[in-house]
């Protein structure tokens, strides 16, 4: 297995795996397959463009992309101390082998490289127990639940809001 940061050259393989994720797990993402299936390649390339305050990472087996995760700093001045992890996905036939954990650790390492980033947040479906266990295993802690966070195919989905502190709160002010 090899994990690396994706670039615009990876746009087509990224889009294919992203669409597979949206199709397989529609309740796991804020976006939907229908919203993203016709996205122009230039839009996808823009998502993968190199910026110091964001990154998308891919896990490869041989030369095949089998997992994804993204992390980015929040854009507003008063929330720029926070990052967001999103788009986590590992192909079903590759699960249970530690790929998700390695992807997540790569995203966290990238977050730690962003000056002034104090914490990283994420939201996960309340019934997605394997993902919850993974996030907790690397230090994320739940800080709330958003009931009815999404409405997918007529059903509401609750999300657990989680946070990983990159800097201890008392040292953030020093």
Q: How far apart are CA 132 and CA 85, in angstroms?
A: 13
What tokens does 40 get? 């122009």
Residue (of 128, 120, 9) closest to 69 by Cα position: 120
* Predicted confidence (pLDDT) per residue in 36-94, tens digit: 999 999 999 999 999 999 999 999 998 999 999 999 999 999 999 999 999 999 999 99
Tokens 């914490």 sit at which residue? 119
Task: List the beta bridge partners of residue 85.
Answer: 71
Lowest mean pLDDT among 58-72, 88-102, 160-174: 160-174
CB 119 within 8 A of CB 81: yes
Report residue 99's pLDDT band, with 50, 70 and 90 as the boundaries. Answer: very high
Our measurement of the distance from residue 44's CA atom to the centroid of its chain's CA atoms, rounded to an integer in Å, reads: 16
Q: How far apart are CA 26 and CA 11, in angstroms?
A: 21
Q: How far apart are CA 61 and CA 59, in angstroms?
A: 7
* Predicted confidence (pLDDT) per residue in 108-139, tens digit: 999 999 999 999 999 999 999 999 999 999 99
Q: Is pLDDT of 34 > 80? A: yes
Residue range of the domain that includes 88: 2-173
CB 89 within 8 A of CB 65: no
Q: Is pLDDT of 171 > 80? A: no
* Predicted confidence (pLDDT) per residue in 7-28, tens digit: 999 999 999 999 999 999 999 9
Residue (of 20, 121, 38, 128) closest to 72 by Cα position: 121
CATH number of the domain at 101, please.
3.40.630.30
What tokens does 22 get? 């949206």
Q: Is pLDDT of 170 > 80? A: no
The total domain count for the chain is: 1
């Amino acid at each position: 297995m090899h994990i690396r940061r994706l670039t615009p050259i990876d746009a087509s393989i990224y889009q294919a795996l992203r669409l597979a994720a949206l199709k397989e797990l529609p309740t796991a993402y804020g976006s939907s397959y229908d919203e993203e299936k016709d996205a122009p390649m230039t839009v996808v390339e823009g998502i993968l463009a190199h910026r110091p305050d964001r990154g998308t990472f891919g896990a490869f087996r041989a030369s095949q992309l089998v997992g994804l995760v993204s992390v980015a700093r929040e854009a507003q001045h008063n929330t720029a101390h926070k990052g967001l992890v999103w788009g986590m996905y590992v192909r079903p036939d590759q699960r249970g082998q530690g790929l998700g954990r390695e992807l997540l650790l790569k995203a966290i390492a990238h977050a730690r490289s962003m000056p002034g980033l104090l914490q990283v947040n994420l939201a996960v479906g309340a019934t997605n127990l394997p993902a919850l266990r993974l996030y907790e295993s690397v230090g994320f802690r739940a800080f709330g639940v958003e009931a009815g966070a999404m409405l997918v195919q007529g059903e509401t989905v609750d999300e657990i809001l989680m946070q990983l502190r990159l800097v201890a709160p008392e040292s953030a002010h020093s």
